[in-house]
Amino acid sequence: MESATLEISPEELHRRLQAGDDLLLVDVREPEEFDYCHLPGSLLVPLAEVPRRAPEIRAEGPVVLICHHGVRSAQALGYLRHRLGRTNVLNLRGGVAAWAARVDPAFPTY
């Protein structure tokens, strides 16, 4: 199943961040959502701005796309992979909601 290889679980992302892996976190939610809560070090690139701001998203090295539940980040992943040929992008399965539920209970939810 191809989609599984395009996703990263909240637990795996946490493990890789704890290990110091060089991951670029790109949050594709709206600024108000980002201001309310986001993973430390995330770059805010709202979904509608992804085509224009794609050069800010590195083409080498792992990139994890993040949104509320994983739907908008999956759309961003599709664009980056299929339109721009990026093979270094992963979608955070379940988004920040899953992160809060499965990794960090203190993470703000909405």
Choose the catalytic residue: 67, 89, 90, 96: 67
pLDDT tens digits, residue range 25-81?
999 999 999 999 999 999 999 999 999 999 999 999 999 999 999 999 999 999 999
Whole-model pTM: value is 0.95
Determine the angle formed by the axes of helices 10-18 and 95-102, rounding to 10 degrees. Answer: 70
pLDDT tens, position by position, 80-108: 999 999 999 999 999 999 999 999 999 99
With residues binned 3-state (H G I as helix, E B as strand, rest as coil), the percentages for the chain, rounded to 5, are 45, 15, 40
Q: Which of 99, 77, 108, 96 is nearest to 11 (CA)?
A: 99
pLDDT value at 5 more than 90: no
Q: Does the annotation count 37 as an active-site position?
A: no
Q: Strand pairing partners for 25? A: 64
Spans of all domains in the chain: 2-102
Q: Look at residue 1 and tell me whether its pLDDT is greater than 70.
A: no
Confidence of residue 2 (pLDDT cuts 50, 70, 90): very low
pLDDT at position 3: 52
- Concatenating the DSSP letter of every residue in 80-91 gives IIIIT---SEEE
Please give the CATH topology (third level) of the domain spanning 2-102: Oxidized Rhodanese; domain 1 (3.40.250)
Q: In what order do the strands lie in the sheet with 24-27?
A: 7-8, 89-92, 63-66, 24-27, 43-44
Cα-trace Rg, the chain: 13
